[in-house]
Structure 1
């Protein structure tokens, strides 16, 4: 087969890459020239390889077309990977924006809740003070009631002692009272008339 001249290689490369959407048109010339250069360089290295190793490495128009096809496939694969990467980044940005928005909303909600918590804490402190005051009053009242109860108990004890003392005195006086009653019962009317006749009580 006959080697294609470099101009032909460039022309064929342009023809096969012109419909590659992922390759901007301003890069077509440089890519086609690079493909022609690679193919020509391989031919030159093949000649040197034959000279040094006595082995053939064939480069044909078909291998050039395969090179173009490989480039097209590789470009499309990389383009797809690039687009997928962009999509992932965009999705990531959307998620980050969503998270940032949710974070801002949570911050605002936390501010409101902090205000409510502060109010509730203040109210709780107020109630605690009220309870402490009432507890102090109740304690004082209990202490006063205990003192009063003690005083009442002491008074009851004194009254009981006096009652017992009175009962003892009464028991002592009962014999004399009984004797007086018996003596009174022995007096008759004549004795009373006789007593009345005395100017002064008999000595």
Structure 2
């Protein structure tokens, strides 16, 4: 169906076309002697053909218009989504920027703490080396002391045995010394060591008096 506003123009075109065909048919008959018949049926076929073409074109244009409308709607929806995503992106940028600053600050702290730990580790290693060295030296001193003790024990045992042989007279004689002979003094000092007393002649003389 043709719109009312276009009906007059379309009718005029059809009439003009029909009149032009009639005019050309008469001209062809006069020039060539060949008749060309134009009937109302031909006119109706022209109208039907136009209507059919109009329907097809309307459908084609309508489909294209719908596609365009859908495309524009999608573009509009996409624009809204892009705007929302832009806002969300800006918010996430702020979050990322804040997290980046926090990570950098944490990294500084970690580096500082690692330096402290490394320094402490160096000190511990140095202390461990010193302790190991001192342990070796202490072991050597202990071994030397044990060697000296092993050498002194026989003499100490002999002194103790000799001390047991002393009688009261001998004890009185020893106490009478203001300074005993070196051998006697050494024996008495050894006895003081066994008694866990001060290894001096004065202490030995005092204990002899007791």
Q: TM-score, normalised by structure 2?
A: 0.70
Q: What secondary structure sits across from 1:24 in the alignment?
A: helix
Shift of 1:96: 0.9
Q: 1:158 aligns with which of 137, 151, 157?
A: 137
Equivalent position of 2:151 in the other structure: 172
Distance 1:192 1:88, change over 3 A: closer
The structural deviation recorded for 1:103 is 0.5
2:5 to 10, 24, 27: 24
Residues 72 and 50 of structure 1, relative CA distance in 2, 3 Å threshold: farther
C-alpha deviation, 1:56, in angstroms: 5.6
| Aligned partner (choices 117, 124, 127) of residue 103 of structure 2 | 124
Alpha-carbon displacement from aligned partner over 1:121-149 (angstroms, at most 9, x marks no partner): 21122222222222222222222112112
Distance change >3 Å, CA 118–CA 49, structure 1 → 2: farther
Matches within 5 A, 1:6-155: 20-21=2-3, 24-25=5-6, 28=8, 30-46=9-25, 48=28, 52=32, 57-155=36-134
> Which is bigger in relative contact order (C-alpha 8 A, separation at least 6)?
1
Query: Aligned-pair RMSD on alpha carbons?
Result: 3.1
User: Which consecutive unaligned segments of at least 5 residues does structure 1 have?
Assistant: 1-18
Give the count of matched residue pairs.
Answer: 180
Q: CA deviation at 1:49?
A: 7.6
- For residues 119 and 137 of structure 1, the distance between their equivalents in structure 2, rounded to whole angstroms, comes to 27
CA shift in 2, pair 1:195/1:171, >3 Å:
closer
Decide whether aligned partners of structure 1 residues 137 and 200 sit closer, same or farther in structure 2, where only a CA change above 3 A counts.
Answer: closer
What SS does structure 2 have at the residue aligned with 1:75? helix
